Amino acid sequence: MTEELFRELLKRPENETLDFKLEMYAFEADGRVSLLKDVISLANTPRSASAYLVFGVDWKPGSPALPKGMSAQIDDVRLRDQLSGDQISPVPPAISYHPLLIGGQHFGVIEVPPEPNVGPFYATKDSSGNKLLKDVLYVRSGSGNVRANLEQQRK
């Protein structure tokens, strides 16, 4: 991940392959569920290029993305621990985390490359509050994560 690609991502609105987050997920309870749902949804969305979760950026519909920076950087190992086989099946093998330091600010990017020969990807258990359900196919639709309808499931 280069600074140039990061700046290109900032010029785009959120969509099926791009999601902005102001801070990295808290890896406890709801934060972990949000991470899993975002990764599963991006990994299941049909595409020919990588999808991205970009951290340290404030974005609202109709406004440009504003790079604000994260309060702290994370270790790639800690992120991978959250995406284990006891949470996602199968585990998307090529996901990578890119820490960036730009203008003294910390940013992070989770890259989810297309993996047409692996998946679809599912949660292995229901989350508390049923925000993420076992064996339900999630995809991106516009700038949100949704349960796949029949047409989306066929794709």
In sequence order, what are the residues at sequence separation of 6 or more whose Cβ sits closer than 8 angstroms to the Cβ of residue 26? 32
Confidence of residue 85 (pLDDT cuts 50, 70, 90): confident
Structure tokens at 89: 């099946």
Structure tokens at 135: 């064996």
Q: Tell me the mean pLDDT in the region 86-108.
A: 92
Confidence of residue 94 (pLDDT cuts 50, 70, 90): confident
Q: Indicate if the pLDDT at residue 78 is higher than 90.
A: no
**How far, in Å, CA of 126 to CA of 12, rounded?**
33
Q: Which of 130, 120, 128, 126 is nearest to 41 (CA)?
A: 120
- The pLDDT, as a whole number, for residue 76 is 86
Which ranges constitute the DSSP H helices of the chain? 3-10, 29-44, 76-82, 150-154
Q: Indicate if the pLDDT at residue 67 is higher than 80.
A: yes
Q: Indicate if the pLDDT at residue 29 is higher than 70.
A: no
